[in-house]
Amino acid sequence: MLTSDDLLQALAAIPVSAPVRAQEVTPSTNAAAAELAAAGEPEWTLVATAHQTAGRGRLDRTWSDVPGKALLFSVVLRPKLPPARAGLLSLLAGAEMAQAIRVTSGRHVTCKWPNDLMLHEQKVGGILLEASVANGEIGYVIVGVGVNLEAPKDVPEAAGLGENVGLLELLTAFLTRFARVYDAADSAFPERVRHAWLPLSDTIGQMVSAVTLDGREVTGRAVGIDDFGSLQLSTDSGEARVGFGEVEHLGTS
């Protein structure tokens, strides 16, 4: 498992200095990071664990892991970013983790919009973004990342990278890549995210069916992402944008 010294070493590669918390078992790294953020801890505060007992994914789903066989961490960010653009951070985190995996393990991981990391059409990891917003401004954002080294047996279509991947090496590669692009005060941030995410996407070019949380279904070809991280679709009735919900890949034909 990652130790506190490991987390400090990873942050030093950015380089930043921030509080860290490393535990063998914790209910949720996102919940722990949110507590620290709410208490006023600074940007880049980092929480990691070897096993989550109440791990969470998008849409209130559970996140399962094999104890000691996954990279599980959350980082506190305090971006100068309009709340409507916070979703770009999830896309950026997914892209840079996919690149970090390629660099450290050679595994060809891709990004499925909005937050899944895919290996041979199976889910090997994911991103969970949670934000605190007050008076129209972001107080903090928690970026949670989970990557399987070994696939949980109770999760259908899950994948693992293999046990020869070094957790500290992978975390450090992610942080250095993410920090290089992350500068939310810059007006060019949306374009930088597109530049990072689009080449790694296995959603763009696909015919997809997107079901939003309000129950609407849109079918069309995924052609891009906008300045808010929404998926842009070309449909028979024109362009459609999907800001959240589920996306099913129907194929490229």
3-state secondary structure the chain: CCCHHHHHHHHHCCCCCCCEEEECCECCHHHHHHHHHHCCCCCCCEEEECCECCCECHHHCECCCCCCCEEEEEEEECCCCCHHHCHHHHHHHHHHHHHHHHHHHCCCCEEECCCEEEECCEEEEEEEEEEEEECCEEEEEEEEEEEECCCCCCCCCECCCCCCCCHHHHHHHHHHHHHHHCCCCCCCHHHHHHHHHHHHECCCCCEEEEECCCCCEEEEEEEEECCCCCEEEEECCEEEEECCCEEEEEECC
Q: pLDDT tier at 55 (50, 70, 90 boundaries)?
A: low
Q: pLDDT tier at 61 (50, 70, 90 boundaries)?
A: low
Quote the pTM value.
0.92
Please report the domains of the chain, with CATH numbers, ordered by start residue: 4-200 (3.30.930.10), 207-251 (2.30.30.100)
More confident residue, 186 or 70: 70
Query: 31 phi and psi, to 5 degrees?
Result: -65, -40
Query: 96 phi and psi, to 5 degrees?
Result: -75, -30
Q: Which residues pair with 210 in a beta bridge?
A: 218, 247
Q: What is the dihedral of CA 120, 53, 44, 15, to 10 degrees?
A: -60
Q: Tens digit of pLDDT for each residue in 190-226?
A: 999 999 999 999 999 999 988 665 567 889 999 999 9
Tokens of 45: 């505060």
Tokens of 101: 């995996």
Q: Tens digit of pLDDT for each residue in 160-192?
A: 999 899 999 999 999 999 999 997 678 899 999
Q: Tens digit of pLDDT for each residue in 101-153?
A: 999 999 999 999 999 999 999 999 999 999 999 999 999 999 999 999 999 98
